[in-house]
Structure 1
Amino acid sequence: MESPANILQWPSAKLMGAEFVSLDEQSGTVEMAFTPPAEFANMRGSVQGGLLAGPMDEAMGAAVYAATNGGLQLTLDINLSLMRPVPMERITVKAKAVKTGRRVTFVEAELFDHEGKLCARATATTMMTGWPGAEKGPDA
């Protein structure tokens, strides 16, 4: 399997200033860092809450990719809990697949600010899909 660092090639990851930090193969935890673009700021000067779903979704996608040996996921739902404002500085997201089935994976993530304070948690349900341009099977 190729590294989940491949996710950095996607336009969405580039927009969010994504950096692949590490993959702990034993626990299946992917760590990514993000530098929020200036356009993510709200009127208070912190990251707009809804836009935190993006970095968390990217990291959870990388965790599913790692847990499924390179499978592409489609996010079916995300539950996001915001715990504190996130300054417009580098953030870190740790994500891991909690349960992987044949087609559905449950995944979770935690987002930390530049001081290491926990700012948000998310859970998601994902479904495996084919890669764009790949031959479509009967389930596609």
Structure 2
Amino acid sequence: MGAQFVSHDEASGTVEMAFTPPDGFANMRGSVQGGLLAGPMDEAMGAAVYLATGGKLQLTLDINLSLLRPVAMERFTVKARAVRSGRKVTFVEAELFDHEGKLSARATATTLVTGWPGESQGGAGDKGRGA
């Protein structure tokens, strides 16, 4: 997705990432096609889950995207945070700000927390040993 890490606020659990849309993301009006904004927002929410769960991965179960204004084909930022994290499910939210800092989209998602590929259900101590 071409994400660039911007910052992480440990107190609020917020992660900020920046994205520059490639030319192929433009719609006929010259702004970013709305559905393609879901990818960068999902990526930032995944980073928020990673930080909130101490390094676990996630699978997005659902995502709700609200498009508030067109997003120019310029660098934009996404701020995401885990709202509530349980043992298996984490709820996350994100806000997308255009190149002028204007709120342009919001998203919420439900994610399934997973281990790393090859990690057994037993935890990090079993990493790579199989189930």
Please state how far the C-alpha of 1:136 moved relative to its aligned partner. Answer: 5.2
Aligned to 2:65: 80
What does residue range 1-140 of structure 1 map to in structure 2 within 5 Å? 16-135=1-120
Checking the alignment, whether the CA contact within 8 Å between 1:73 and 1:126 is kept in structure 2 is yes
Ranges in structure 1 where 5+ consecutive residues have no aligned partner: 1-15
The match for 2:127 is none
State the alpha-carbon separation in 1 of the partners of residues 40 and 112 from structure 2: 19
User: Bigger radius of gyration, 1 or 2?
Assistant: 2
1: CA distance between counterparts of 2:3 and 2:41?
11
Unaligned runs of 5+ in 2: 123-130
How much is the aligned-residue C-alpha RMSD, in angstroms?
A: 1.3
What percent identity do the matched residue pairs reach? 83
3-state SS, counterpart of residue 79 of structure 2:
strand
- AA at the equivalent of 1:91: F
Secondary structure at the counterpart of residue 55 of structure 1: helix
SS at match of 1:81: strand
Instruction: Output the amino acid matched with 1:118.
Output: L
Aligned length: 123
Is the Cα contact below 8 Å between 1:98 and 1:106 reproduced in 2?
Answer: yes
Paired with 2:115 and 2:13, the residues of 1 have a C-alpha distance of: 22
Taking the aligned partners of 1:81 and 1:69, their CA distance within structure 2 comes to: 29
Return the alpha-carbon distance in structure 2 between the equivalents of residues 127 and 134 of structure 1.
16
Whole-angstrom distance in 2 between the partners of 1:17 and 1:65: 18
Calculate the TM-score normalised by the size of structure 2.
0.90
CA contact 1:17–1:37 (8 Å) conserved in 2: no
